[in-house]
Amino acid sequence: MVTILKKTHNNAGTWKSAFLRSYKQETGIDLSIPRWSEIKDKYDLKSVRKLEKAKSDLAKATDQYEKIKERIQLYHQKLHAEQEKNNVGKVGKIQDDIEKQKKNAEKAKEKINKAQAKIDELEG
């Protein structure tokens, strides 16, 4: 069985106007069918997912930063308590812990800035 396909290349540019004319004739309603290039940004799921991920990253980094700040405050309280007791061994360890947490806070702050920059970029 041989199927002969009708060449439609010449009609490709006029399908939209022919369709709109026929639709109005049948229903009396004017349709507006935008071109893909006019609306593709609204349906760009990749960008939507990237924005959601950036917002999620921002929330996680902010939460992490707040927890680190709380931890640093607790270490400072422990530090003062051990200093009052003159417990030199524990004072040194607590000071090391505070420094580690400060470094972690800096990293978390960098993550916050990076996520915020990404959000600003995607929201334009």
In a domain, 25, yes or no: no
Considering only 9-13, 54-58, 98-102, 117-121, which range has the smallest mean pLDDT?
Answer: 9-13
In a domain, 118, yes or no: yes
Read off the pLDDT of each residue in 75-81 and give the average, rounded to a whole number: 91
Please state, in angstroms and rounded to a whole number, the distance separating the CA atoms of residues 77 and 84: 11
In a domain, 101, yes or no: yes
Residue 1 has pLDDT above 60, yes or no: no
In a domain, 67, yes or no: yes
In a domain, 12, yes or no: no
What long-range pairs does 25-32 form, CB within 8 A, spacing at least 24? none
What range defines the domain where residue 111 resides? 41-123
Residues 6+ apart with CB under 8 A from 42: none
Domain count within the chain: 1
Residue 67 has pLDDT above 90, yes or no: yes
In a domain, 49, yes or no: yes
Residues 6+ apart with CB under 8 A from 15: none
At position 65, the amino acid (one-letter code) is: Y
Please state, in angstroms and rounded to a whole number, the distance separating the CA atoms of residues 24 and 31: 8
User: What is the model's pLDDT at position 61?
Assistant: 95
The residue written with tokens 């639709």 in the block is 23
Please state, in angstroms and rounded to a whole number, the distance separating the CA atoms of residues 64 and 113: 13
In a domain, 30, yes or no: no
User: What is the model's pLDDT at position 115?
Assistant: 92
In a domain, 47, yes or no: yes
